[in-house]
Amino acid sequence: MPAITPTQYELSAFDPNAHLFEVRCTIDDPAADGQRYRLPTWVPGSYLIREFARHFISVRAQNPAGAVTIVKEAKDTWRAASCVGPLTVVAKVYAFDLSVRTAYLDVTRGYFNGGAMFLCPVGREGAPCTLQIAPPHGPVHGEWRCATTLTPAEDAWTFRADDYDELIDHPVEMSAFQLGEFSAGGRAHQIAISGRADVDMARVERDLAHVCQYQIDLFGGTPPFPRNYLFQVMVVGDGHGGLEHRSSTSLLTSRKSLPLPGSADTTDDYVNFLGLASHEYFHAWNVKRIKPQAFTPYDLSRESYTRQLWVFEGITSYYDDLALVRSGVISTPKYLELLGRAITNVLRTPGRHVQSIADASFDAWIKFYRPDENSPNAGVSYYAKGALVALALDLALRLEGRSTLDDLMRALWQRHGEAGSGVPEDRIRMLASELAGRDLSDFFARYVDGTEDPPLAELLGGHGIALELRAATGANDRGGKPATTSKSRTWLGAKLGADLKLQHVFTGGPAERAGLAPGDTLVAFDGVRASLEGLNTLLERRPPSAHVPIHHFRRDELMLSNVVLVAAPLDTAWLALDDKATDTALARRAAWLGTDPKTAATT
């Protein structure tokens, strides 16, 4: 059989002011009965049908004889008339989504995920691909370069991929970005920062080098990606998000999250950025190579169901901050503060007793990615509770004394990641039981398939750490620290926005019992004009059982509800090093956090 010819793609920043890319796809040997083309409907790592084809403004086809008829067959599929090759399809694609999931083009920057850009000729999914990017013609800001981990070909703007799946798993950033570089595990790592930012690049390089090296060592010392790794960072005024790829990640972060030159401060925002980078890097193993069986291969034409997203997102969320403390980038007290906040976040979600993390994983497509006013009552995040279940599993394995979650991740890497075989739906329970040396079905039945809270107080206690619970001290209290005041508070049982609209009304709380609803705009408490400050004062001063008349608009109709306040729930967690713990517990704590037992209390 003759070698299959490559699918040739050309992409140009056709009109930055209209946010239009032009993308050409040429094949030498179109199918005899009319070549079909398909575009993905979702991007791996973000489990929502996004219908990328809706941004295709026009599609035409041509061969050496002239125009070829091409018609749409389905929302994501086109078919060209039967013709001789070479056949070229030309698409104009609108790109103005600043998120990490699709594509963006203006004079400051071009960015794309291949799945949102490149039509795949049906039947040629396994064919090699070439990509030629045309540098922008018109005026753009600065000298644009390309940052991508696609395999370079003849020059800085041409690339190749072994198949379509590889072509679309290396997003491309084009701009006059700032470039940082460091080495970890013997491989080059780049940081390309787009957007206006005054950043201490040397510090970011140094901190990320520690985090990446830690993760490489955790999985046995060899990076999983064949050449280099790239952090594509888009800086905005306010934003936070990331998407993992096989040897790169796209991050969206706020300007204030990056360290300023000359400042040694480790701000919460910078820790947040490091945690995001750490999270996406961990995915280079966990989900990009250790994958659910349901994703091998990906079917990008429709939803791919798995009850295991808690493994791929929850365990990754557990390790993202843990890698920061174990690599020495943050202190033990800072890590415990982050963990306290993570526990608080879950404790404030009544839906954790309604939906299991296995069910949340399965329904990500219609629930997690489509949150609404009732989400906190009806469901739980497989990231947030998944991370706590990962913590509980790690600590439980450590108490058994035979293994740790690190061992489980290494076993998954060896048996599934390196081996290239998908993880069956029940494999984590079986593997954890094998490592623990006893059946852990009860743990999984309660905390993964069931809706119980994992017994974190007990498990942390066995590691020399006390889990304390208290009431929130105000609307901005995210937990993680002891109370700043001893004043008691009452609770409304609702989340109020700055516009005085109720965003969420919590199941069984005073607001729900009084008949308040999400979307209601509060007008007055006790006959006095409503404000956030006024609500705060009211909750500080009124005792439990106090009756408060609340005037509010539902739609455009004025209503009056009488709320009976209750004592604020103990839904705010913070962790303390318990220095009276036994030597065994202190040794476990040091082993868990990767710190020396003598200095764990002070580092």
**Toward Zn ion, which CB reaches closer, 271 or 311?**
311
Which residue number has the CB closest to Zn ion? 313
The CA distance from 357 to 306, in Å, is 11
Quote the least distance from Cβ 536 to Zn ion, whole Å: 34
The CA distance from 253 to 14, in Å, is 27
**Toward Zn ion, which CB reaches closer, 200 or 280?**
280
Range 30-34 contact pairs with CB under 8 angstroms and sequence separation of 24 or more: 30/80, 30/82, 30/83, 30/84, 30/85, 30/87, 30/121, 31/122, 31/123, 32/82, 33/82, 34/79, 34/80, 34/81, 34/82
Quote the least distance from Cβ 212 to Zn ion, whole Å: 16
In 10 A of CB 301, how many CB atoms?
16
Q: Which of 346, 344, 583 is nearest to 463 (CA)?
A: 583
Quote the least distance from Cβ 267 to Zn ion, whole Å: 23
The secondary structure of residue 290, as a DSSP letter, is: B
- Residue holding tokens 């399809």? 89
Rounded to the nearest angstrom, the gap between the alpha carbon of residue 451 and the centroid of all alpha carbons in its chain is: 23
Q: List alpha helices for 374-531, DSSP H.
A: 375-378, 384-400, 405-412, 427-436, 441-447, 456-461, 510-514
**Toward Zn ion, which CB reaches closer, 313 or 477?**
313
Contact 395, 462 (CB under 8 A): yes
**Toward Zn ion, which CB reaches closer, 207 or 313?**
313
**Toward Zn ion, which CB reaches closer, 35 or 278?**
278
Q: Give phi and psi for 150, each to the nearest 5.
A: -55, 150
- Residue holding tokens 């991050």? 251
Q: What is each CA distance from 566 to 92, 412, 473, 476, in whole angstroms? A: 58, 47, 15, 19
**Toward Zn ion, which CB reaches closer, 169 or 313?**
313
How many residues are listed for the chain in this entry? 603
**Toward Zn ion, which CB reaches closer, 171 or 462?**
171
The CA distance from 526 to 531, in Å, is 12
The CA distance from 598 to 565, in Å, is 47
**Toward Zn ion, which CB reaches closer, 203 or 288?**
288
Subset of residues 295 to 334 that bind Zn ion, contact rule: CB under 5 A: 313
239 Cβ neighbours under 8 A, 6+ residues apart:
98, 252, 253, 254
Subset of residues 108 to 147 that bind Zn ion, contact rule: CB under 5 A: none
Subset of residues 169 to 228 that bind Zn ion, contact rule: CB under 5 A: none
Quote the least distance from Cβ 243 to Zn ion, whole Å: 8
The CA distance from 225 to 256, in Å, is 30
**Toward Zn ion, which CB reaches closer, 310 or 592?**
310
**Toward Zn ion, which CB reaches closer, 173 or 313?**
313
Quote the least distance from Cβ 232 to Zn ion, whole Å: 16
Q: Which of 283, 172, 173 is nearest to 225 (CA)?
A: 283
**Phi-psi category of residue 14: left, alpha or beta, with phi > 0 → left and psi -120 to 50 → alpha:** alpha
Q: What is each CA distance from 542 to 403, 536, 546, 568, in whole angstroms? A: 51, 10, 6, 11
What SS3 class is residue 337?
A: helix
**Toward Zn ion, which CB reaches closer, 45 or 379?**
45
**Toward Zn ion, which CB reaches closer, 76 or 313?**
313
How many residues interact with Zn ion (rule CB under 5 A)? 1
Quote the least distance from Cβ 68 to Zn ion, whole Å: 42
Amino acid (1-letter code) at residue 464:
G
Quote the least distance from Cβ 272 to Zn ion, whole Å: 14
**Toward Zn ion, which CB reaches closer, 199 or 388?**
388
Give the residues lining the site for Zn ion (CB under 5 A).
313
